Structure formats: C-alpha cells, structure tokens
Structure 1
Amino acid sequence: METKEIVKEALKTRRGRKAYARRSLAHFTYIYLGHYIKYDTPDFHLEIYKDLGRTDIDFLELLAFRGSAKSTIASLALALWSAVTDRKNFIIILSDTFAQAKMHIQNIIYELENNELLIRDFGPFKLKEEWTSTNIILAVGVRILSRSRGQRIRGLRHKQYRPDLIVGDDLENNELVRTKEQRDKTSEWWNGEVIPAIDTDKGMVVLIGSLLHSDSLMARQKALILKEGIGVLKEYPIMREDGEILWHQRYTKEDIEKLRIRVGTRYFQREYLLKLVPEDGQVIKKVHYYQKLPKIKAISIGVDLAISQKETADYTAINVIGKGEDNNFYNLRNIAGRWNFNTTLTKVNDTYKDYRGAHAGIPLYLGIEDVAYQHSAIEEYHRRFGIKPKAVKVSKDKRARLEAIEPYFVSEQVFFREEGDEDVVTEILNFGIEAHDDRMDAFEISLSQLLDMAQPNIRLL
C-alpha cells in the first residue's frame, strides 16, 4: 500500500509525476494546476473528479452551485488532462457566448504555454500550426476546439476522429430561458448538433450548469436521465436540506448567510441551492400530476381560436379536462396548431366525437371563445355538425382569469398528465413571459366551464 511518503518521493521525479497524473484527474489537477486550488478539497470535488474520469458512462450532467469550481474542473482540468495524457483525440468545449468560448481556450493555452512543470513533463505542446482563439492542435495530435451555443457541431472531424469529449459549460442564460421558443431552439441544437456529433464508441458528453428554468436544457436533460436512466446526474447545492455545507473548507454558515443577503433570496435559491423559484408576478407557482385517472363524471372541451396558418400567428388550441368522482379536475388532452378554417372545425369535432364516444352518458361541454370573427366559426360549427357550442365571452384581462382559477391549483384540485401536457403547463407557469398562451387560454375555458357547471351541449334532431 502506498504511503504519503512514497507518493511524495515519487512526485519529485518526472516519471513519478506522469504516472500519478495519468492515473486520475484529481492527481493531475493537484500536481499541475495547484495554483487553482486555494482551499482544502471537499468530498464533492473528489466525486466530480472520479465521475469525469469514468469510462463506463457516456453522459454526465453536473448541477453545481455558483463558485463550486465546476468550470475549472470540467472545462480546464478535464480538457488538459484528456489532451496531454492521450485519453482523447478531439475535444470540444461549448459555451453560451463566443466571448466565453474564447476565454476557455485562452485559459487552456495559457497553461500549455506557461505552466513550466506541465511543459517539462508532457511538452512541448505547440507545432508549427498557429493556435487561434478557438482552435488548437497539440504536438501529440489532439485538437481542442471551442464553440458557442448554436454553432454547427455535427459532422466535425479531426483527422479520422469524431469528437470524443464534449463539455457543455453554462450554455444558457436568464434571458435565453425566458421564452419557450428560445428554450426549444437550444434543445433542438443540443439534440440535433451536439449529441449526434459525439463518437458513439468511446465518446463522453459532460453538461454542467444550474437550473435557470423548469423547462431549460439542464432541466430537460435532468428529467430525461431520471426517467430513462440515460446518463448520470449529480447535484451539488452549496448546502443540503439538513444543513450540511458541501464545501465547509471554504464556506461557513455565516459566509453563506452573507452571500444570501448580498445576492438576494431568489438568486441564492436558484444559483446556490439549485432550487427553481417562481418569477416575480407568477400567478400559478406549482402544478400537480396524476398517475392514475379516476372515474370521470363530466368532461369539458375548451377551444381558443386563431384561424391562420402563418408562422407568426397565434395557435388554435383545444383542451379537454374531466371532473373526477373525487371532484378533482384531470387534464385529458391539449393540442394546438396553425390550422385553416375547415381543418380547425374538423379538429374540434373530432375531439368532441372522441370523448362523446368514449364517455357516453356523462355531461360533455364544448365551449369556444367568442371574440370578433370567431363567432362565425361557432355558427358554422353548429351548422355543419348539429352541435351548438357555448359561445364563451372572456375578459381581456388574462391575468385576472388565471388568478380566478389559481385557488384550485393551490388546493391541489387540478392535475395534469406527465406526458402530453408539457406545453400547456409551461404556458401556465410562465404566463407573461412565454410568447404564446393559446394552450393556457383553452385550458382556462375548459376548466371554467366545469366550475360554472354549464349545461351540456344539445344535439339538434
């Protein structure tokens, strides 16, 4: 068994240092990047080092508090270790902005050009080829590339190698995650460009950051890991629920309290405790989901019309909700699209027929928002299908309408599907921020009908 004395002696020689450095990321960091280590190493750092060095996983998501040194470990130490020890051939570091992407490479270049011990043991590193602010090739043939969010990744190769290490470091910002369109765009880039780029045989993707939004990329990937078991998730708040301070070598309880006061409770909860917090002015702060549907005794269909196929137009949304025998409300369906007049009426009627057929004998309500030109759609639906929808007059004050149903959320009487209601839940939780709220409007119409206990629609003979 190795003693501290044996290790200490071994580290005095080039051969000994290289042997220990190759053995683990932690050893490499202590030996060559000790100038970054200002405090005693916490246990969670050792766990991160170990996970980043694993060869049996291909995806690792690290949620860690601001100031936890996660970027130093993953974007600097891991990249350098993987490159100089020949563990990887093509490394890509991804950032939110181009400026951040350049900074990551600059930090790596600085160590490769100025870290005397690293150069002495593993160098020289530079070939005749010029290094740029986003692209370097080491003498051993390893390429390190940096890219910002949204840039092309898929299809990139370095000689015969596809990327075998990709580190996504704080890819989102507060402004970016405010709208669903931007969140979807980031996810589409991640799933369409980043994931397909990795070497499927020996590649590893590392995603680090914090939860800026319940529907952010970090949140979506976390949900995917928890649900499908694809990858490894590790979370490191500055302090656990039981009061345990993860980096007690650096932070005392007094330090943490001062930090909370300095940055504010909202920011502290999100960036340091890794807790999602509602935005100021958020009406509905939490939703609940059901696992098993009880017997339904009444069903309501709400329709928010926006008859246009233009990409900039609002969506037509249809929501179906049922009232259970327990008097709680269970969302059953939520669909939306940019449909023309005829398609819209057909979609509404198909939905009506589906639930009329599946739930014969119970009240079924159909309400369509009655605003301006939409009234003609209500009349035409009645003429075509012999079913007279309720023309729903709604207030223009959407916040007031949402506030009217908010008590039912607080009292846990409204439940959603875990799959299929993601978009309407997002619109409800982020009302006032999202670019569209059509699904929410349709939901509010359908729920309000059940709350009002409107009369069932009458089919004409």
Structure 2
Amino acid sequence: MMTENKKAKQAMERYLQHLQEIKNITSVIPKGNEAEKQKRIAKARESYAYFVETYFPHLASSKCGKFQIEAAEYIKENSRARCVFEWARGHAKSSHISLMIPMWLKIQREATPMVMVLVSKSGDAAKRLLSDLQAELAGNELYINDFGAQKTDGLWTDGEFVTSVGDMFIALGRGQSPRGIKKRGIRVNYISIDDIDDDEMCRNPRRVSEAVDWCLTALLGTMAMGRGRFVLVGNRISQTSILAEIAERPHFFHTRVNALNAKGSPTWKENYTLEEISSLRVEMGERRFQKEYMNNPIMEGAIFERKYIQYGKMLPLREYKGIVVYTDPSFKSSTKNDFKATMLVGITKQGAFHVIKAYADQTKVSEMIGWHYAIEEYVGDTPCRYYMESNFIQDLMMDEFYKAGTETGKQIPITGDARKKPEKFARIEAMQPLFQRGEVIFNEAERSAPGMKVLEEQLLMFQRGSKAHDDAPDALEGAIWMLKKQERSMAFTPRMGRRSKPKSAW
C-alpha cells in the first residue's frame, strides 16, 4: 500500500511537470504591445470562446461547442446560478466547469474575489482537479501577462491555496466537512461538484440520498444564504445517482449533452466525427455506449437475462414447420438514428423458435433491401413468407423494393402485417417466458454476425422507460407472432359433411 508521503511526492512531481508544460506552451504565445494587449483583454472578457482559444491552446485542441459556450454564459450572467450540466464523457466537463469558467469569471470587471470549493468523489480526485487549475494560475504566462501575477501560497497537495489577488480555492471529497470556509469575511461563492458519482455508491439508494443531503445542506450552506454559483457536472452513470436527484430539484438549470444529438449527429461536431463515434459504439457495445456517452444507463437483463439467451445448432431449412422473414424498417427518412431490422426465424415441430439469421443496423433502405435478397438466396426453394408492418407497405419504401426487383428480375413478395398491435413494450416483454423456457434459440453459426450481436444487445437493454433502441426485438416479436398465427391456422381442421339430425327433431 502506498504511503501518504509517497503519494504526496508523486502528486507534486505530476504538478511540477504539468506546470512546466503550461509554461513552455504559453511562453511562446505572442504578447503584442500594450494596445494589442488591451484589445485582447476586452475581447476575452466578452467572448468565452475567444478566451478559451487564446489562453488555453493546450487544453482547447478543438473549438468550443455551442453547449460549452452557453454554459459559460449562463454561469456568468447568473450570480446565483444553480446548474446541472449532464454531459457525455469526453466533452471537457472538468476543463470548462472546474477550470476555464472560474478563470473567466475572475477576469470580469468588478469581479469579487473568488472563494471556490471543488468537490469530487474523493479528496484525492478533488485535489487532482484543483491542481490543474492552480497550475494554470501559476504557469499560464499569457494569462499572467494580461491579468496579473497569480502566484500562490502554500502547497496544492494540501487541497487548499490562495492567490495574490485574494482568491481562495479548496478541494473536498464527497462527504468531507466544508463548514466554516471563508476568506477575509467572504464566504464561498463558487461551488463546482465535478464527477461526484461512482458505481459502488449508486448501487445503494440510501448512500445516494445521504450524499444529496450533504450537497444541499452542508455544502450549499457554505454560501451566505445561497449567494453564489452552485454547479454540478458529470455524466449520468445510474438512474439512482446524485446527478439524477439534483437535476430534478426546482430552480436548477439542467442541460443534457449526449455524444449524438436527436438527429444522430455529433453534438460536439467541432471535435468528433460521426465515423469515430460509430466505431467506438461498436467496440464498446450498445449498453456501455448508452451509459457513458448518451447519459442513458441501462441495467443489463432487466427483462431478458443473459443466461436465457441461448445459442444452438439450426435444423436443415426443410425440417421447419414454417419459416418467416419479418422486417421493422424504421422510418425512411431516418438513416442515422433508427435501426432497421430483419429476422429470419423458423419454428420446429416441437414449437421452438430458431433465429436463423438476424440483420440490424442504422443504415439506408437500399442496404435493408439487400438483406432480403441475401435471405432469398439463402433459403432457395424452401417456402418462406416475408412480412412488414402494413403502414410501411404503403410507403415510398415499396417503390425501392420494386426498383430492386426490376433490376434483379426477382420481386420479394412482402405481405403487410395488418394486426392492431398492442403497446410495444407489452408485445416484446411477452416473449420473455419463451426465452426463460428455452424456446428461442439463436444460430450458433451466426453468433459473431453484426445483426445477431445487435439483437442480443437490444434484448439485454430492453426495459420500460429506456431510450435504447428496440427495433431488433420488435422484428423478432413480429416473426414469432406470425409463426404462431400460422401454427394456429394449421392446427384448425374444419369438419366437413352433412349436419346430423337432432334427436329431438319431429
């Protein structure tokens, strides 16, 4: 176990190295003459984006996103701000909320000395965050050139330091006593709660409730009757979390920033491309991506448990009692966000459902049509019925099926599913007993196929109220329902012949 002295030594070494890096980068930035300096200062006070790009080139490798600028302006304009910024991982939460925005507030005209408390999940985590701010104040030569020396007293490893202009900065771990903090009669006026949640605590609702109480009593109480800015930033790692609880409080300004916006495009487009986000999404898996980058934590197996998702060997196609292809095509116009899904499912003589092939992707209609022709070639002359919801049959989507059929010389005979469907959650949830009884088997030979992986992930993520996609389970439900309908029709044998004469007849 590392001793406290060794930890302090390593922390100091890290700080000094970081301090030197900041000096090296900012020392070569042209300072200009006095007129240029005053022009730069005036523009920096007015424009947060300019302030960040000018004084922090080592932190701002990309231009500020709109959401970062709006957060800074809201905090600046509201001296009694109450904010919850729910931002995805990788969106510079700490750099802005706990470092650059406080430094921007400091340079405003008639700014009062800042007494800031920075809170994180532990004391060490808070000290690490605070050390980055202190290194900027001590080593950012352009900032010092324009706004004066900020040389600090004391060691940052104490988790507390003051500046030469009367500011005070303190690091606290979650639950540590903050009572009595003030600087020359000035009480705390900026609280930054940065990445305070952790998985272990979020599994215990009682601990979450106690932490929320601490934030809104002991911590908020360090301000003079609430005067000052109280800001919480993080990503939603659980529906039971400090962030989730405080975001629901009255009078709190709450914004949610996901890696992808409602249209399926990068929210921070100045920094990330859709291609790299999509690649990461595949590498991580949908459930993990939803939690870390979409502020949508999903408990795995809430309805469909992993132990009930079984893989096995499929039968020769001719041995199935029936085979259907069912497609959930999403909406024609949405190629970025909604999944399209097509399932090839067979029913055995014993009544089990075999998922022979699964296709699911955020793709174009032309790709989805290609799945149907791949299936048509795979099944050959084995009887197979193709289904799709009736409301899509009337869509322009069918024109594209017709065009593909004209080009290939083969038309896919799609039948509309005209049933009046119950609510989606209830329909999909109704499959759960089939999985539990082992009556749904996935094709072992297709285990690594992208569509089969998507189907498995979406089943594991499925739960009421979730924002996760469920297009693949929806298509599977459609296929199973159609096979059950066919089986019921086959089981019904009408009686033929003359009706017998009643015994009580005259």
* CA deviation profile, 1:24-63 (whole Å, cap 9, x unmatched): 4433322211221112332222222222322255201101
Counterpart contact for 1:210–1:274, Cα < 8 Å: yes
Find 1:238's aligned residue among 259, 267, 289: 259
**Deviation, structure 1 residue 202:** 3.7
| 175 and 127 in structure 1: CA distance in 2 versus 1, 3 angstrom threshold | closer
CA distance in 2, matches of 1:246, 1:11: 39
1:133 and 1:27, CA in 2 relative to 1: closer, same or farther beyond 3 A? farther
Instruction: From 29, 36, 44, give the equivalent of 1:21.
Output: 44
How many Å apart are 1:9 and its aligned residue?
8.9
| Contact preservation (8 Å) 1:25, 1:53 | no
Larger radius of gyration: 2
Residues 1:284 and 1:148: Cα distance change in structure 2 (over 3 Å): farther
Q: 1:252 aligns with which of 273, 287, 310?
A: 273
Does residue 167 of structure 2 align to residue 146 of structure 1?
A: no
- d(CA) in 2 for partners of 1:87 and 1:284? 56
**Alignment partner of 2:59 out of 13, 25, 36:** 36
Q: Equivalent residue for 2:231?
A: 206
Match of 1:76 in 2: 99
Q: Write the mapping of 1:37-436 to structure 2, written as runs, cut at 5 A.
A: 37-55=60-78, 57-83=80-106, 85=108, 86-126=111-151, 129=154, 131-200=156-225, 202-224=227-249, 228=250, 230-277=251-298, 279-283=299-303
Instruction: State the one-letter code of the partner of 1:163.
Output: V
TM-superposed CA distance for 1:11, in Å, is 9.3
Cα shift at 1:249: 2.4
Return the offset for 1:15. Answer: 2.1
More divergent stretch after superposition (255-264 vs 137-146): 255-264
Among all aligned residue pairs of Structure 1 and Structure 2, give the percentage whose two residues are the same amino acid: 25
CA gap of 1:175–1:408, structure 2 versus 1, over 3 A, is farther
Equivalent position of 1:397 in the other structure: none
* Partners of 1:171 and 1:9 in 2: CA distance: 41
Structure 2 residue aligned with 1:345: none
Q: 1:194 deviation in Å?
A: 1.5
| Segment drifting more, 116-125 vs 76-85 | 76-85
Counterpart code for 1:251? Y
User: 2:121·2:195 contact (CA, 8 Å) conserved in 1?
Assistant: yes
Q: SS of 2:53's equivalent?
A: helix
1:372 aligns with none
Tell me, which stretches of 5 or more residues in structure 1 are unaligned? 1-7, 286-405, 412-427, 430-461
Cα deviation, residue 110, structure 1: 1.4
The Cα offsets for residues 319-364 of structure 1, whole Å up to 9 and x where unpaired, read as: xxxxxxxxxxxxxxxxxxxxxxxxxxxxxxxxxxxxxxxxxxxxxx
Task: Tell me the C-alpha RMSD between the 2 structures.
Answer: 3.0
Give CA deviations for 1:189-209 in whole Å, capped at 9, x if unaligned: 112212222233640101001
So what's the TM-score if we normalise by structure 1? Answer: 0.56
* Paired residues, number: 281
Q: Work out whether residues 25 and 77 of structure 1, in 8 Å CA contact, stay in contact via their aligned partners in 2.
A: no
CA displacement 1:243-290 (0-9 Å, x = unmatched)? 13212222222111111122222121012111131x2243599xxxxx
**2-structure distance, mates of 1:63, 1:88:** 28
1:334 counterpart residue number:
none
Distance 1:11 1:243, change over 3 A: farther
Change in 2 beyond 3 A, CA 1:22/1:60: same
In the alignment, is the contact (CA less than 8 A) between 1:269 and 1:275 conserved in 2?
A: yes
1:170 Cα deviation after fit: 0.7
> Unaligned 5+ residue runs, structure 2?
1-30, 306-424, 431-462, 465-506
Secondary structure of the 1:13 match is helix
AA aligned opposite 1:63: E
Query: How much does 1:90 deviate?
Result: 0.5
Shift of the 282–126 alpha-carbon distance from structure 1 to 2, 3 Å rule, reads: same
Letter in 2 for 1:50: E
CA contact (8 A) 1:245 1:251 kept: yes
Task: Label 1:11 to 1:275 Cα distance change in 2 as closer, same or farther (>3 A).
Answer: farther
1:253 maps to amino acid: L
Q: Secondary structure at the match of 2:58?
A: helix
Deviations 1:130-151 (A, max 9, x none): 5544111011101011111111
Instruction: Give distance in 1, aligned partners of 2:40 and 2:227.
Output: 26
Match of 1:311 in 2: none
Amino acid at match of 1:142: D
- Evaluate the alpha carbon distance shift between residue 214 and residue 73 of structure 1 in structure 2; reply closer, same or farther with a 3 A threshold: same
Q: How much does 1:68 deviate?
A: 0.5
Question: Quick one: which amino acid aligns to residue 33 of structure 1?
Answer: F
